Amino acid sequence: LKLHLSVGARYPKALSDLESKAIRMVNSTNTVTDTGSTTKVAAAKAAVSSLPYHRILGYIEYHHLHWCLLDTQFLCFENSELNHAEKPPPPPILALICLVGLELSGCFLVDHCSLPSSTKSVSRKPPSHHTHRSQTLPLDLVAEQLSATPELLHWYLTQIFLHKPEVYVKFPNTAVPPRAVTDLHRTHLELHIKYAVDTADKKRKLSDIPSFDDADAETPLLAFLKAALPHGGTRPDDIRRMLEVCREGQTNSTSQGIGEVRHPHLFARELAYVIEHCGSDKKEDARMILQLYLEGAKSLPLAVGYAQRNKTYSAMLWDSLITYCLDPKPQAARSRARGKRKGPIDKKEDGSLFGALLEASARSGADLAHLVSKIPKGMQIEGLRPRLIAAISDYKIKVQMHEAAVRVLNKDKIDLIRELSHKSRRGVRIVFDEHGVYSSKRTDTAIDSNSSAGPAPVLASARKSKIEALSLIEEKGQRLYVHPERTGVIRSKALAIR
């Protein structure tokens, strides 16, 4: 194993290629899906035939040599000719990745990853007993070996986040994650920001309505923020400052207006998510989020969805959204200032933008009548009638779905009430005699509505006189106040006490 790993450690050109390939793999990843996991395994199996050293993974698993990969001095030879001249020995994990490639090494590292170890010292002696293979490569020790290559560390943490979140972002047995995990969260966030690429939002037009799948797609950084922010590894204020600095293209944290940023499309969705879920819930923050969705992400469905979610400033957000779509002069002026647009404003563009707003509002279930009433006279909206007909049809389908769900709910409620009533009537009747001794008897058949005897035994016990009932209560040391106008109360109370 040592000789094989030394072969992989002597490929400097292969390492540079792996680093660039790792960044491409991370940036092409969206959300966690079963299909993505299956594709990952299939790609790894397809790459087996083209790699001559893939059997080394089987050697490690069969002989339980995982402890060798955790020893940073494992590739240090006694013979000076095999050692690296004036350089520390390369990490075994890095040599393994260079030897077998990203696909196979990714599957191997994910399958054998475990929670961070309690101590940093690793013994070179083999374990005395067979340990479970899912607990052989602690997360923090592997990340420590890959810290010299940030690209591969970014790739490794992303693979763990996607395919084994129970050791990185989901902890079913504890509410407070380990300190080593939160430190890795901060490092992973910095790597996400450093190696992020431009998204498709830069070339998208605001009037283009994406499909449902494209609208729900998340960037790797956004998916990581949703999972890592609740654990407190990074403060939301620090994340917001870092994202704003990147958008402004500066090296300091001096804030500028949203229209003065140098890269308005960069980290627009991520910044909007941080402000919405971890902000101060002020009116300025609500307006900033709306502008991020409109000018940064260039997505009307996201802007409409936020206006629907925000109940505090919903009216203000809808007014701003309608005004923005009706009057594109401010955005045209900003485009001219950046040198990206010339010439007068076309009226057809105004109509297409408002038509896209109608379509996005119909998807989210907004009030279309209010939007139609805001259409000014003389505005030309292409395809207005088909859009309204499609919106009404979708609304009818949603109403039918809700009605069907209500019918199912009512049926389940009636079934539960019947079951509760049936069980509550299967009680035990307790009858006191004159000496205070009581006897119990099942009342299943007596209370049955189909029984010929009917509820006579229960009613007979309730037809005792008022004096006998009061004397029985006084013997038990209890007092009962009876209102003179409430007839029959004493009988029910006496029956309940018995």
d(CA 435, CA 431): 11
Average pLDDT over residues 143-167: 94
Map residue 138 onto helix, strand or coil: strand
**Mind giving me the DSSP string for 240-258?**
HHHHHHHHHT-SS-----G
Radius of gyration of the chain (CA): 35
| Percent of the chain at pLDDT exceeding 70 | 67
Map residue 156 onto helix, strand or coil: helix
CB 96 within 8 A of CB 156: no
Please check the confidence at residue 397 and state whether its pLDDT lies above 80.
yes
CB 89 within 8 A of CB 73: yes
pLDDT-wise least confident of 69-83, 176-190, 228-242? 69-83
List Cβ neighbours of 40 (8 Å cut-off, separation of 6 or more).
Answer: 103, 106, 107, 163
> What pLDDT does residue 249 have?
73
How far is the CA of 464 from the CAs of 24, 53, 431, 468, 491, in angstroms? 88, 94, 12, 7, 8
CB 316 within 8 A of CB 286: yes
If one compares 189 and 176, the residue with the highest pLDDT of the two is 189
**Distance, CA of 471 to chain centre:** 66
**Distance, CA of 173 to chain centre:** 18
CB 180 within 8 A of CB 140: yes
If one compares 181 and 280, the residue with the highest pLDDT of the two is 181
